[in-house]
Amino acid sequence: DIVMTQTPLSLSVTPGQPASISCKSSQSLLHSDGKTFLSWYLQKPGQSPQLLIFELSSRFSGVPDRFSGSGSETDFTLRISRVEAEDVGVYYCMQSKDLPRTFGQGTKVELK
């Protein structure tokens, strides 16, 4: 199975400041079709997870442009340009290149 490792596991951010979360995979997520099957999710307190970014860097419909995804074959980053109060929760990366789909441990983001 592909192991996904996130850092840090918790993050305290001042509103209006940037934040970034790292995710590393144990194998390349670059498919032969040129796509990288890495997605990011946010689970707000008491809610179901919601998709933020898919295929490495594509924002899902309705996701604010302060969220961006980047990276290469095994190293990925989610950046929030200016953290807002509604961004608190747990962020997960997930690979969908191989089965089983696997998630990172999650990064809890809170406000200072």
Partner 1 sequence: EVQLTESGGDSVQPGGSLRLSCAASGIIFSSHWMSWLRQAPGKGLEWVGNIKEDGSEKYYVDSVKGRFTISRDNAKNSVYLQINSLRVEDTAMYYCARDMGAFDFWGQGTMVTVSS
Write out the residues near partner 1 by the rule CB under 8 A: 37, 39, 41, 43, 48-51, 54-55, 60, 90, 92, 94, 96, 99-106
Q: Name the minimum Å distance from CB 1 to partner 1.
A: 8
- Separation of alpha carbons 87 and 27, rounded Å: 29
- Residue 13 or 92: the one with the smaller Cβ distance to partner 1 is 92
Q: Which amino acid is at 16?
A: G
Structure tokens at 69: 């995804």
| Cβ neighbours of 61 (radius 10 Å) | 5
Q: Name the minimum Å distance from CB 45 to partner 1.
A: 12
- Residue 2 or 83: the one with the smaller Cβ distance to partner 1 is 2
- Residue 31 or 82: the one with the smaller Cβ distance to partner 1 is 31
How buried is residue 25: exposed, middle or buried, by Cβ count under 10 Å (0-12/13-18/19+)? Answer: buried
